[in-house]
Amino acid sequence: MGKKAASDGPWFAHSREGQPQSAWQGLAAHLHGVGALARDFADRFGAGEWGALAGLFHDAGKYTEAFQRRLAGDGQRVDHSSAGARLAVDRFKGPGKLLAYCIAGHHAGLPDGRDNDLACLAARLKAALVPEPARTLADSRQAPEAFPFTPALGRTGFQCAFFIRMLYSCLVDADFLDTEAFLDREKHAHRGGYPTLETMRERLTAHLAQFAAKAEPSPVDPWRAKVLGWCLGAAGDAPGLFSLTVPTGGGKTLSSLAFALNHAITHDRKQVIYVIPYTSIIEQNADVFRSAVGPEAVVEHHSNYDPKRRTDKDAAEPAGDEGLGRRHELAAENWDAPLVVTTSVQFFESLFAHRSSRCRKLHNIAKSVVILDEAQMLPPTLLRPCLEALRELSESYGTTVVLCTATQPALTRREGFAFGLEPPREIVADVPGLFAALKRTRVAHLGKLTDDELVKRLREHEQVLCVVNTRAHARRLHGLLGPGAGVFHLSASMCPAHRSEKLAAIRAALKAGQPCRVVSTQLIECGVDVSFPAVYRAEAGVDSVAQAAGRCNREGELAEGVVYVFEAEAAPPAGELRRAAEEGHVVLRAFADPLSPEAVAAYFEALYWRVGPDGLDKKNDRIAGIFAALHAGANTLDFPFRQVAHEFQMIESACEPVIIPWGQAGEAIVRGLEHAEHTGGLARSAQRYTVQVPARVRAALVAAGDVECVQERFYVLRRMSRYDDEEGLSGDAAGVFRGEDWIA
């Protein structure tokens, strides 16, 4: 008796509740639909046949009576993913194992290759049975072609694992989209509809021309025009790795976008991904992009994103705002948009993730242009895996990467730094000349200052910014300055909506020439467009001092602004911040201009040398390094995907969110969370009213009755006396802060 073929049936992939089988999705249609989509996605990096096979095999386990009964209403769960993984290995051996990771993990996430867990790939393959009807799927199928990358000595393990994750992205996005098109056509209809890159370039060109014709030209405008010209000139260069070294205030935000759009159009790159380190500034940059290329072209993806938030330009748009927000919300799932603005955390953690929701977007990074803003902020303890990912994207996946910063870190290969990148092509033709022309400040080192001495100096300035390393220090200095008009505090103890309001008041005071003394943590340093005649900065890394200097004499209003660097009473927090401050201390004394490109290069070389090669990859009692863990699996193709995802955390913090009912909007969100059955949209909106606190602090606030858990997941501040309109959330009265030096 012959085998029952996959074409026999009926076999179904998805049912529709309450509807007859004639309205269900056939399994063959789903497999071929997913295979076709996955092929298209993987074609971006030369792996179309791999994608097609992953799609064709992924639901082979649904060719069982048990699964068909489940579709008909039997509640028994059925493992339908392991069978396709086993089929791939049986048919294609080694290459099949790479497919097997993707297929086995297309719901539960990429498994570890081999460990003591029954969920690892080895155990699942051993236990899996391939249904007879599914075996016909492999008939006449040839093994996929060779890898779409050139194996590099000493890197093949990392490359294979990276390829698996990219292929996995193609499969899970294809599966989501094919299923969505069948089960939720209304949702599916909201996808797409974006302007072309050519249209965006036309809009940006018009915007830049309008910007150049402004009534009040700035002394730095001619050099900003040069930066733009250099970016446009370099856009025709071959794809690969670039650097854009521009001092703060040099116009790199829109100039880098001009490079990206022109480069993408010239070289058939598919989209632009702008990666920014802080959520506190990402909204500002996204608003700049929306003004330049249109609100419908820009998709934000970060923890504070609220699709209901509108800029003035957005508000003027005709109908469809709700649909636009929905479209952007969906595009954040897979980055299927011409311009994505995201955070470093989202970008890099996705590249090392194992969950389908995080990996789904990855295939759209291939053959794109990635602008890595503030590239110097890559965490030293994860520097090697980050550089390996950027190298692999650039060399094997057609991605152009631009390292964009005022303080280029020493990331190129050299003695003692063997895994550094090949030297990128610098877009700016005259970096020393640009820095000399845009030098608007000088750095003066004051030595050690007590808080009283510091406050006395701050009072001598009508307008001054003081940046310190911890929330506790910012609160203390703000208290010493005393209440009164023109005294401001900024820190992450304030929710983002509150900070935005304070920044608006600060800008208004500066513009009006009114007294304005601001004490802030480092959150003001990256991309916040304010300009003070004098800035004080607690000792920190040279890159942080340079960022603070970017808030001084920003538009060249003065002949020279002054950045005063001082040693605070308390040392910076132990760990990376203290190491950076100590190396910065040396450079500040060794160079006449500690912010020159030469000084910055010396600082980063010293910092990375101090940490040492072993300190530039995650090492603890669980893992010997992320790169090392992947390298170890090269011969057997056993990769610890789950362990790597767990260990690759760019923000190692035990902080937890507390929602603040601040203002009418915050109060309305909290009321909605208390009573809504579906809270997804409200939860996103609540991000702008959230403060992150250490887990022990939140627990103490809950125990004191100050914070209440709503709907078993949202922690809401109930005692608003804990939230000060000047300093934000405080736990001092309950003794839960204990003077803790929180960062930011």
Q: In what order do the strands lie in the sheet with 516-520?
A: 441-448, 561-567, 534-538, 463-467, 516-520, 487-490
- Domain-embedded: residue 226: yes
- Domain-embedded: residue 681: yes
pLDDT at 436 over 50: yes
Element (H, E) at 715: strand 714-717
Range of the domain at 671: 655-734
Task: Give the mean pLDDT of 55-61.
Answer: 97
pLDDT number for residue 384: 94
Residues sharing a CB contact under 8 Å with residue 675, sequence separation 6 or more, in sequence order: none
- Domain-embedded: residue 617: no
Same-domain check for residues 354 and 273: yes
**DSSP strands (E only) in 4-106:** 12-14, 25-26
pLDDT number for residue 194: 93
pLDDT number for residue 318: 34
Same-domain check for residues 397 and 262: yes
Q: Could you give the percent of the chain with pLDDT greater than 90?
A: 67
pLDDT number for residue 280: 67
- Domain-embedded: residue 461: yes
Asked if 429 contacts 482 with a C-beta cutoff of 8 angstroms, the reply is: no
Same-domain check for residues 485 and 419: no
Same-domain check for residues 577 and 660: no
Q: Which of 433, 466, 499 is the last residue of a domain?
A: 433
**C-alpha to C-alpha distance for 360 and 345, rounded to whole angstroms:** 16
- Domain-embedded: residue 163: no
Same-domain check for residues 143 and 52: yes
pLDDT at 576 over 90: no
- Picking from 344, 69, 366, 361, the residue whose alpha carbon sits closest to that of residue 239 is 366
The two structure tokens encoding residue 460: 């001598």
**C-alpha to C-alpha distance for 254 and 260, rounded to whole angstroms:** 10
- Picking from 619, 537, 561, 554, the residue whose alpha carbon sits closest to that of residue 406 is 554
Distances (CA, A) of 166 to 30, 393, 415: 21, 10, 32
Better-scored residue on pLDDT, 3 or 677: 677
pLDDT digits (tens, 9 = 90+) for 532-571: 999 999 999 999 999 999 999 987 889 899 999 999 998 8
Same-domain check for residues 391 and 522: no
Please report where in the chains the tokens 């955070």 appear, as a residue: 343
Same-domain check for residues 238 and 366: yes
pLDDT digits (tens, 9 = 90+) for 638-667: 999 999 999 999 876 668 899 999 999 999
Q: Which of 592, 619, 639 is the last residue of a domain?
A: 592
pLDDT number for residue 148: 82
Question: What torsion do the CA atoms of 681, 687, 690, 692 make, to the nearest 10 degrees?
Answer: 120
Same-domain check for residues 527 and 454: yes
**DSSP strands (E only) in 335-410:** 339-343, 369-373, 400-405
CATH number of the domain bearing residue 315: 3.40.50.300
Mean pLDDT check: name the lowest of 38-42, 98-102, 196-200, 496-500: 496-500
pLDDT at 1 over 50: no
pLDDT number for residue 665: 94
Within 10 A of 409 (CB to CB), how many other CB atoms are there? Answer: 22
Asked if 526 contacts 280 with a C-beta cutoff of 8 angstroms, the reply is: yes
Task: Give the mean pLDDT of 82-89.
Answer: 97
Task: Give the mean pLDDT of 80-108.
Answer: 96
Highest mean pLDDT among 163-167, 500-504, 740-744: 163-167
- Domain-embedded: residue 190: no
The two structure tokens encoding residue 202: 């036309």
Same-domain check for residues 473 and 420: no
pLDDT number for residue 329: 85
pLDDT digits (tens, 9 = 90+) for 212-266: 777 577 778 889 999 999 999 999 999 999 999 998 878 899 999 999 999 999 9
What total of structural domains would you count in the chain?
A: 4
Same-domain check for residues 124 and 242: no
pLDDT category of residue 508 using cuts at 50, 70 and 90? very high
pLDDT digits (tens, 9 = 90+) for 350-370: 999 999 999 999 999 999 999
Same-domain check for residues 309 and 233: yes
Q: Which of 414, 433, 452 is the last residue of a domain?
A: 433
pLDDT category of residue 373 using cuts at 50, 70 and 90? very high
Same-domain check for residues 539 and 664: no
pLDDT category of residue 690 using cuts at 50, 70 and 90? very high
**C-alpha to C-alpha distance for 164 and 98, rounded to whole angstroms:** 6
- Domain-embedded: residue 115: yes
pLDDT at 26 over 80: yes
pLDDT at 128 over 90: yes
- Domain-embedded: residue 696: yes
pLDDT digits (tens, 9 = 90+) for 305-338: 555 444 333 333 333 455 677 888 899 899 999 9
Q: Could you give the percent of the chain with pLDDT greater than 70?
A: 93
Angle at the Cα of 353 from the Cα atoms of 45 and 626, rounded to 5 degrees: 95
pLDDT number for residue 248: 80
pLDDT at 735 over 50: no
pLDDT number for residue 5: 59
